[in-house]
Amino acid sequence: MLCYMAIIAITSSSLKNARRYVEVMESTGAEVRVLIPDDYSGSCTSQLMRDVGGLLICGGPDIDPVLYGEEPDPDAGLVLNRALDDFELLILQYALDLDMPVLAICRGMQLLNVAFGGKLIQDLPNHRSEKVEGKWIPATHNIYIAPGAKTSPVIGMAGFFKVNSLHHQGLKEAQRAQRLMTTAYEVEDGLIEGLESPEHSWVIGLQCHPERQDEVPKMFNNLFLGLHERAEAFIDKSIS
C-alpha cells in the first residue's frame, strides 16, 4: 500500500526569513517545501505545489498598496517586494481554488485580506519591536478570539490572550474584505487580529507571530499541528 505524506508549502521572501516557520512545522512531523519568488522561474504553479497539502504564508515585507488601489504613503516607511506579492497571490489563489488548508501569519493575514478585495492601513504606531539595552523586544498586547472562530477549537479555547506584535501595517473593519470574517481583534484599539474565510474549510489568518513560541501562549502551537493534520487529510482525500 502506497503511503503519501503531505507537504506544507511555505512562501517567503528568503530561506532565512522562513527559518522559524520551517522549524516549527518540522517539529510537528511535517515535510516542508519553501517557495520563494525565484522558484517560479520556469515552473508553473501546479509543479511548485505538487504533493502539497497545506499552505503557510509567513511574515515579511510590506504589501504594495497599489494592489489595493492606493498609492504608497512616502511617510509610512514601506519596504516593498512586488515580486513576492505577485508570487504569493498566485500561490494563495491556487490553494483557495482547491480548498487547501491555509495558515496566514502577519503579512500573510494582510495578503489574505488583499486577495479577497480588502485594504490595509499603511502604517500603525506602537506595534513594532523596540530596542532596549541593545536587544530587540517585541511589543505585546491583548487580543480576543471569538468562540465561533475555527481558530478557537484548534488552539483549544476562545477568550483573551497576550501575544506579540511585530507589524506596522494592519486593518480594521473599514479595510476588511467583505467575504472574510473577523475572528479576533485587539482589545485596546480594535485592530483585527484574526481573519477566516467562511467559503473555505480551513483558511485561518492571524496577525501575531505564533512561530515565535516563547512570545505567545503555548497552545498556539496547535495551529501548526492543525495545519499539518488538515494537510494530511487534504492529500488523503485527493488520492482516494
Query: So which residues are the catalytic ones?
Result: 106, 209, 211
d(C-alpha 65, C-alpha 18), whole Å = 23
Longest Cα pair distance anywhere in the chain, in angstroms? 59
- Output the CA–CA distances (angstroms, integers) from residue 49 to 19, 29, 75, 108, 202, in the order listed: 20, 19, 38, 18, 18
